[in-house]
Structure 1
């Protein structure tokens, strides 16, 4: 299964998400291709130092990350797209319309997973089936009072405290995502 994280510059949130998910998947990580891209990325840019430090703090490995610009081919090849913001999800779907049912903000995907009953997960035996189930049921989970709560703030050029808060938000969502993916692997 190919999991794609998307943010703006592909130097803070999306590489951190990809690295932390890989760490959270542990020994099961080999069954997944976890990568990232950015809607306005400059190909080859290194990961932001503060975001890299947060990745390390959360068990990720930022070594060798280089930003890459999101293309229709990259988006279209993903089985699951997790974005930092709703605007990134819209950009992914605009580039590759067939991704609409497999693109979510990372917080939305975790929130829908968290709202599933065990009976709803019965019979789900692959990560792809899990993504399809979440896509079908995303409209049945009560909406947030403020839809912006599904977005993860951009910490670029902000304080270390902001980087830490953003990293913790992403990591909290990824605990739910990794557990669910491992359970159906």
Structure 2
């Protein structure tokens, strides 16, 4: 495991101009606040409108939640993009299947973003019920930025396995609840529905990141 490298997260939708760019930019903005330099969030589309910018309403959503939509250009999902990714978060179950067609080795690291968020909610609930955060990322006494990055990488690269372990406790009432609606060429109301489905998942992921941020200071090793 290369603990000097940032945790690589890829978000995936169809055209890579509506849903996955919102997830990319908001996850990156939020995770940067947890461990600056600890994460690299990118996105791609299974049938991408290559070179197109983010759709204007999606860009406005990103700005509303404190992200930066500038400079985004859609790109096509390829095996090369998937190589070395630590976590793939897709917008639908169909996208998950397409990712696995390109790289079956990602089976245990690929989830829809909504199901992954529910799994993290279960893990956080279990930690709360046990009276603490389980597990907490320890950082060495006198830790520096490199220690924090290494601790973050170790934690997040093992997180998919822990999340999958509680999948049975995070099943939705309807399988459609795993998916984020596609608003492309649809009304502003459908974009609002996309936002309503996507935003809580992003919040859950960022909450888990904050709860399990590296512990600094002399007592870190004993927590």
| TM-score, with length taken from structure 2 | 0.77
Number of residues paired by the alignment? 184
SS in 1 for 2:37: helix
Give me the whole-angstrom Cα distance separating, in 2, the residues matched to 1:91 and 1:81: 12
Distance 1:173 1:29, change over 3 A: farther
Q: Which has the higher helix share?
A: 1
1:25 to 20, 31, 55: 31
Task: Please tell me whether Structure 1 or Structure 2 has the larger radius of gyration of its CA atoms.
Answer: 2
Instruction: Note if contact 1:155-1:162 (Cα within 8 Å) is conserved in structure 2.
Output: yes
Report deviation, 1:51.
1.0
Instruction: Note if contact 1:55-1:167 (Cα within 8 Å) is conserved in structure 2.
Output: no
Q: Specify every segment of 5 or more residues in structure 2 that has no aligned partner in the other structure, as ranges.
A: 1-6, 138-154, 214-223
Give me the whole-angstrom Cα distance separating, in 1, the residues matched to 2:12 and 2:82: 9
Task: Show the counterpart of 1:96.
Answer: 103
Instruction: Note if contact 1:85-1:105 (Cα within 8 Å) is conserved in structure 2.
Output: yes
| 1:63-78 correspondence runs (5 A) | 63-78=70-85
1:123 to 127, 130, 135: 135
1:170 to 191, 195, 198: 198
Q: Specify every segment of 5 or more residues in structure 1 that has no aligned partner in the other structure, as ranges.
A: none
SS in 2 for 1:154: coil
SS in 2 for 1:30: coil
SS in 1 for 2:89: strand
Give me the whole-angstrom Cα distance separating, in 1, the residues matched to 2:87 and 2:113: 10
Describe the superposition over 1:29-55 as per-residue Cα deviations: whole angstroms up to 9, x where unpaired. 421000000000032111111111111
Instruction: Note if contact 2:8-2:39 (Cα within 8 Å) is conserved in structure 1.
Output: yes
* Alignment of 1:107 onto 2:135: no
Task: Show the counterpart of 1:144.
Answer: 172
Instruction: Note if contact 1:4-1:80 (Cα within 8 Å) is conserved in structure 2.
Output: yes
Q: Bigger shift: 125-134 or 86-95?
A: 125-134
Give the superposed CA RMSD.
1.7
